[in-house]
Amino acid sequence: MNYPSVFNLTWLIPLPTALAFFAIILFTNPKKRLSSNVAIGAVIIAWILSWAVAITFFLKPELTEHPFDLRVPWLPMGEITFHMGVAVDAVTAGMLFMVGFVLTMIFIYSSGYMTFPGHLDPSLNTDGLDPRYSRFFAYISLFATGMLGLVVANNLLMLFIFWEIMGLCSYLLIGFWFEKSYPDPNQITPKQAGLKAFLTTRVGDVLFMMGLIFLFIHAGTLNFQEIFGNAAFLEELATSTVTLPIFGAVSWAALISILIFWGAIGKSAQFPLHVWLPDAMEGPTPVSALIHAATMVSAGVYLIVRMAPLFAASSHSATGALPFVAFIGAFTALFAATIGVAQRDIKRVLAYSTISQLGYMFAALGIGAWVAAIIHLLVHAFFKALLFLGSGSVIHGMEHGHHHAHEHGHGHEHGHDEYFDAQDMFNMGGLLKRMPITGWTFIAGAVSLSAVPFIDAGFWSKDEILAHAWYGHPVVFWTLAVGAFLTAFYTFRQVFLTFAGQPRTEAAAHAPESVRAMTWPLVGLAFFAIFGGFVAVPKEFPVFGKIASDFMLKLMEMQGEVYPFLHVAPAEFNWTPALISMTLALSGIVLAWLVYGWKPLKAGQSDPLARWLGPVYTVLEHKYYFDELYMAAFVRPALWLADFFAHFDRGVIDRIVNWVGAFGRWLATTLRRWFDEYIVDGAVNGAGLVTQWTGSVVRLVQTGQVQTYLLILLLSVAVLLLLIPLR
């Protein structure tokens, strides 16, 4: 098939940001503004390339039946050669459309956000920018490279390599302000949060790699098209079994799928590996937006969408992987939503929202709603990037307001040296008047997240998931429906606490609107947060169905025809689940208004929800004590074990090693002395004695008289003559 020439540029998409990373660390690091310009220029080039490939694909529906797959030989392995390369299909095109744009908005926003942080020594503030400003842009450039490379990869190994690049970048960026500390010794620091994220996601990545290895052993390749286009292989994988302890006989398709899914559980922070994501908020806010929208957690959902044919094939065995995916997703969606209602930190509310929304996507994948999952992934990226960048703008304004209040002697509620939490929503209030662009764009994102009926992208994408769950999956449906109610409640609780009423602190009263580099990206993201999901408007909808484009759905439908076992189709529109979800979403918003909006909280007033829920609120506020549970069950035993082995190493192993070393030295010294004295010296001295004795004997015949020598000669001749007859 003749592919558009622009597809040959697909391999270039991750390259600009990769080159920007090396350019910044090697050349432009001393010049901060130049470094940010290099990073922004590189990501704009990547965005243009991404949209060129994505839009070209969308304009040629026939390409869905023949995905583009460019391969180059990489590693000879006996009779086979492993190929690396890039591929473009419907899922790739959709992700490229989202990732390129969202990355660009975050990079531009970062140039305004990464000014001098107040927790550092003021003597470091020489130019108004973060002291490691250039390093930050180098790191996020590499982060972007990881996600772009993962999206265009045509095989699982290449995907895994870029997957791990993102894991490294998340560690570096979450702990970017590693010197930061808090008055409360129990509060996690950025350094600890980065390490926590890295170690927690490694648990899932190890299992992911096991699944990758098993798949390669069976398939002899990791190329997506070769594996997923082979119906006979998938059938064999679904019917052949392996016996596991406790679980018994499990098909190889199910086992490999579940192992790979554990990688997604770690990366996308699903239960029980969810604990790292809320603490990842210790990083700069643009990093939070990157992790939650354009990179990192989105990669987990993308991985399962990419592996959909394998998961679908596993469902043809008695022990399929999809029910497990659906259970984890639905449980996490509700579990995280309950925690979100009791958080005070503006970013942590959004963090639990992300965990919950990702749960929606995994639940959709588990029930076979592939179209709904990928569309909600794309829409969620737009409004969650908007919300995180909006929260960063709020935090930025609060920090500036706090410093302004102290400079003018207004900061009476906090001492000059007392820590002020600029992320605590109970320190905010009335910010809509102070920060109108930030406020209204944030509300647009909140409307989309809450799935307000008909007027936003989030409603259509979430309704698609609930419509699928309505048919044959009642437990999943009602779990997600309750989660939708809680989502609307905690989202507008956040809106009312932050933007409504009067300022509750002097910092909020003096918070300025953010600079244009921060507000313009908010406006751009708000557009897609409202209108991006209209591609999911069902054809049956009487008003917008004829207007909104269902082109994305057609592409996804046709994509299902490429791979065996994978049946992809949008759900039939049904007013019953739609009305249920609408009622619950609006009820959540109304309840939030009654509690926090009707009579906005005053300065120093506690959360009304805490009074009503009592001990339940405390449990939710402490996140069901999962951190404490993991600390008691895993961290402390691991530290105790490490301490035990350290003492064992020093007290036992080191003593044995030292004794062996001392014995070796003694033995070497002893043997050296004995061997030298008795063997070496004995041989040398013995040779000398023999020579001396021989010389003393021979010396007797050396008289110096000619007649003696003549006599000896005659006697010798005589002896020889006598011997002749004897012979």
DSSP annotation string for 390-447: HHHHHHHHHHHHHHHHHHTT--TTS-TTS---TTBGGG---HHHH-HHHHHHHHHHHH
Predicted confidence band at 248 (pLDDT cuts at 50, 70, 90)?
confident
Lowest-confidence segment of 35-44, 473-482, 504-513, 530-539 by average pLDDT? 530-539
Bridge partners, residue 83, by sequence = 73
- Which run of H or of E encompasses 243? strand 241-244
Ranges 100-104, 312-316, 414-418, most confident: 100-104
Average pLDDT over residues 552-576: 63
pLDDT > 70: what percent of the chain?
A: 91
Between CA 405 and CA 601 the distance in angstroms is: 21
Between CA 90 and CA 63 the distance in angstroms is: 9
Q: Is the dihedral of CA 117, 121, 127, 133 positive or negative?
A: negative
Has residue 179 got a pLDDT over 60?
Answer: yes
Lowest-confidence segment of 5-9, 47-51, 478-482, 489-493 by average pLDDT? 5-9
pLDDT > 90: what percent of the chain?
A: 62
Alpha-carbon Rg of the chain, whole angstroms?
36
What pLDDT does residue 451 have?
87
What pLDDT does residue 542 have?
53
Lowest-confidence segment of 85-99, 120-134, 162-176, 268-282 by average pLDDT? 120-134
Between CA 50 and CA 67 the distance in angstroms is: 16
What pLDDT does residue 386 have?
95
Has residue 630 got a pLDDT over 60?
Answer: yes
What pLDDT does residue 64 have?
73
Predicted confidence band at 214 (pLDDT cuts at 50, 70, 90)?
very high
- φ, ψ at 275 (rounded to 5°): -70, -20
Between CA 411 and CA 118 the distance in angstroms is: 16
Average pLDDT over residues 564-580: 75
What pLDDT does residue 539 have?
64
Cis peptide before 73 (omega within 30 of 0): no
Bigger pLDDT: 106 vs 296: 106
Lowest-confidence segment of 36-45, 114-123, 171-180, 606-615 by average pLDDT? 114-123
Has residue 546 got a pLDDT over 80?
Answer: no
Structural contact between residues 61 and 275, judged by C-beta atoms closer than 8 angstroms: no
Predicted confidence band at 677 (pLDDT cuts at 50, 70, 90)?
confident
Average pLDDT over residues 310-315: 87
Residue type, 146: G
- φ, ψ at 403 (rounded to 5°): -65, -40
Residue 188 structure tokens: 């996690």
- Other Cβ atoms closer than 10 A to 557: 18
Per residue in 351-366, pLDDT (tens digit) is 999 999 999 999 999 9
What pLDDT does residue 708 have?
78
Mean pLDDT of the chain: 88
Question: How long is the chain?
Answer: 727
What pLDDT does residue 67 have?
83
Predicted confidence band at 63 (pLDDT cuts at 50, 70, 90)?
confident
Residue 328's nearest CA partner among 291, 297, 366 is: 366
Between CA 343 and CA 503 the distance in angstroms is: 19
What pLDDT does residue 411 have?
52
Residue 559's nearest CA partner among 570, 549, 548 is: 570
Structural contact between residues 271 and 623, judged by C-beta atoms closer than 8 angstroms: no
Looking up tokens 């470094």, which residue turns up? 35
Predicted confidence band at 562 (pLDDT cuts at 50, 70, 90)?
low
What pLDDT does residue 228 have?
87
Per residue in 374-423, pLDDT (tens digit) is 889 999 999 999 999 999 999 999 988 888 787 776 655 544 456 788 89
What pLDDT does residue 203 have?
95
Structural contact between residues 191 and 173, judged by C-beta atoms closer than 8 angstroms: no
Has residue 557 got a pLDDT over 70?
Answer: no
Average pLDDT over residues 445-467: 85
What pLDDT does residue 545 have?
47
Structural contact between residues 280 and 351, judged by C-beta atoms closer than 8 angstroms: yes
Bridge partners, residue 244, by sequence = 248
**Measured between alpha carbons, how far is residue 112 from residues 285, 287, 515, 558 in Å?**
12, 14, 7, 43
Bigger pLDDT: 276 vs 543: 276
Q: What is the distance, to the nearest Å, from the Cα of residue 215 to the centroid of all Cα atoms in its chain?
A: 22
- Quote the DSSP letter at residue 580: H
Predicted confidence band at 559 (pLDDT cuts at 50, 70, 90)?
low
Has residue 188 got a pLDDT over 50?
Answer: yes
Predicted confidence band at 547 (pLDDT cuts at 50, 70, 90)?
very low
Residue 207 structure tokens: 């299992």
